[in-house]
Chains A and B, each alone.
Chain A
C-alpha cells in the first residue's frame, strides 16, 4: 500500500534534513504507530505520504514514494485527496470555514471529490455517529469546543473513506475517556475496511492497544521498526526523547529487582501488565 525508498527531504531555509534516507513498506490493513521526539520527522513523513512535499513546502526532495499506486511527490495533494486521509492536531485550522453546519462541513470533502448528492447523506451521518457528534449535526463548527472540533476533523476525513489514514495526534484535546472511545471506533472501522493506518501519538499506551507495528524516528531516520510491543518497550527509547509508559517502567524495575521473572516482552498497557503479574 505504501512504499518509501531512500526518501530525504530538507525544508527551505534549513540545512539539516527533516527526513534522511527513510525506507518503509506498509501493507494493506496494517496499523502502524510512529514515535520519536519533537522534530524527529514524524509529521514530515505524513506530509510526504499525503503529497504535501514538495508541492506545498518546496524544499529539497529525493527518493521514491508510492502510495496506493500513486506518486505523491509528483502528483501532489489534490491527486491523493480521498485516497489518503490526513488528520492532525490543531482542530481550528482543520475546519474549512466554508460551511455553516457540522453536516455541511463533513460533506465539504465529498463535494470537492464530486460525489453525487444522493450518496452524501448516508456517509455524513455515519461519520458523525462514529465520532459521537450526531446530536450536533446542525450546529456551527465554530461553536464547538476544541475536543469536539477534533472529532469533527476526524469525521471530515473518515467520510472520504480513504484507503490510507494518517493520524498525527488526532485526539490531543480530547479527555482520556473520549479519546479512547474515538480511537477504538476508528480502529474498528479501519479494520473492517482494511484501511492502512499510520498513527502518531504521545500516549504509547493507546498506540500499543491498536498498533501491530511501531516505527521509531530520530533526526529524520528510521532507527527501529518492528512489532509494537517490542519497539515501544525498548530501553533505547529513553535516549531518543520518547517516554515509555509507567507500566513498562514499573515492570522493568520489578524485573531489575528480581521481583518478577524476566518476561519475553515488557508490558506497554495496563492490561498487558495485569497479564504479566497474573
Chain B
C-alpha cells in the first residue's frame, strides 16, 4: 500500500483506464470474430511491461472490478487476484528482459498462463462450486469424468485454456512494443528493460 500512497506517475495513471478499455474491447473483438481465446489481458500485460509489476497488478485487479461493476460479468471480481498476478508477472518478466525477444515473451506468457490456471482453480472450486458458468465447463466435466477431483478438473481446464491465451497476448504486446514510437516508450518508468 505504501507504494500506492506515493502514487503512480500521471502518465501511468492515465494509461491504466486506457489499458482496461483495451482489455474489454479487444476481448469483445475476439468474441466477435469467434476465436477460441479470451484476449482480455493485453492491456494488463502492456501496463506491467511499461510501468512495472505494481502498475500491472493494479490494472489487472481493477479490470476485473470493472467487469463486475459494469454489470457484464458479476463474478469477475472474485478472480481479480488472478488478473493482478498476470499483470505483476508480466512486469517482472519484462524487468528480467524477457520481452526483448519474441520467443521469450511467448515463454513468459505460457508460464503466466500456467500460474493463472493454478491460482484460479481454487477460486472456481471453493467460490463457485467448481464451475465457471461458461463453455469451458465442458472441459471441467470431461476432466472429472476421467476421475479428477473438482480442484484438479478446474486446474486441467485452466491449464488447457490459459497458457495459450497468455502466450498469444504476450506475443501481441511484444509486437506492440516494437511498433510504438521510442519517444512514447521513453516516458514510462520500466520501458527501458523491455
| Chain A residues at the B interface, C-beta cutoff of 8 Å | 11-14, 56-58, 97
Whether the pair B17, A14 counts as a contact (CB closer than 8 A) is no
Instruction: Enumerate B1-58 residues with CB–CB distance to A below 8 Å.
Output: 10-11, 17
Any chain A CB within 8 A of the CB of B183?
Answer: yes
A-B contacts, 17 listed (Cβ < 8 Å): A11-B183, A12-B182, A12-B183, A12-B186, A12-B187, A13-B181, A13-B182, A13-B183, A13-B186, A14-B183, A56-B10, A56-B11, A56-B187, A57-B187, A58-B186, A58-B187, A97-B17
A57 to B11, CA, bound (A): 10
Point out the residues of chain A lying under 8 angstroms from B187, CB to CB. Answer: 12, 56-58
Give the residue name and chain of the A residue nearest to B183 (CB): A13
- Bound together, the chains give a CA A11 to CA B10 distance in angstroms of 18
Tell me how far the C-beta of A145 lies from the nearest C-beta in chain B, rounded to whole angstroms.
21
Residue of B nearest to A55 (CB): B10
- Other contacts beyond A13-B186, A56-B10: 15, CB < 8 A: A11-B183, A12-B182, A12-B183, A12-B186, A12-B187, A13-B181, A13-B182, A13-B183, A14-B183, A56-B11, A56-B187, A57-B187, A58-B186, A58-B187, A97-B17
* B183: A residues at CB distance < 8 A: 11-14
Query: What is the minimal beta-carbon distance from A99 to any residue of chain B, in angstroms?
Result: 14
- Tell me the bound Cα distance from A57 to B17 in angstroms: 20
Please provide the chain B residues from 167 to 187 with a CB less than 8 Å away from any CB of chain A in the complex: 181-183, 186-187
Q: Inside 8 A of A12's CB, which chain B residues have their CB?
A: 182-183, 186-187
Lowest 9 CB-CB distances: which A-B pairs, in order?
A12-B186, A13-B182, A13-B183, A13-B186, A11-B183, A12-B183, A58-B186, A57-B187, A58-B187
Query: Most B CB atoms within 10 A — which of A11, A13, A56, A57?
Result: A13
* Whole-angstrom distance between the Cβ of B107 and the nearest chain A Cβ: 29
Q: Which residues of B contact A57 (CB under 8 A)?
A: 187
Residues of B with C-beta under 8 A to A56: 10-11, 187
Give complex CA distance A92, B122 in Å: 42
Residues in B whose Cβ lies below 8 Å from that of A11: 183
Chain B residue at minimal CB-CB distance from A77: B10
Q: Please indicate the chain A residues that have their CB under 8 angstroms from the CB of B181 in the complex.
A: 13
Taking CB atoms, residues of chain A closer than 8 Å to B186 are: 12-13, 58
Q: How far is the CB of A188 from chain B (nearest CB, A)?
A: 33
* A13–B186 alpha-carbon span in the complex (Å): 8
A56 vs B183: C-alpha distance when bound (angstroms): 12
How far, in whole Å, are A11 and B181 apart by their CA atoms in the complex?
12
B185 to chain A: closest residue by CB:
A13
Distance in angstroms between the alpha carbons of A56 and B186 in the assembled complex = 11
A14 to B17 Cα, complex, angstroms = 29
Instruction: Give complex CA distance A11, B182 in Å.
Output: 11
Complex alpha-carbon distance, A145 and B186, angstroms: 33
Bound-state Cα–Cα, A41 to B166, Å: 42
Mask, B69-82, CB within 8 Å of A = 1, is 00000000000000
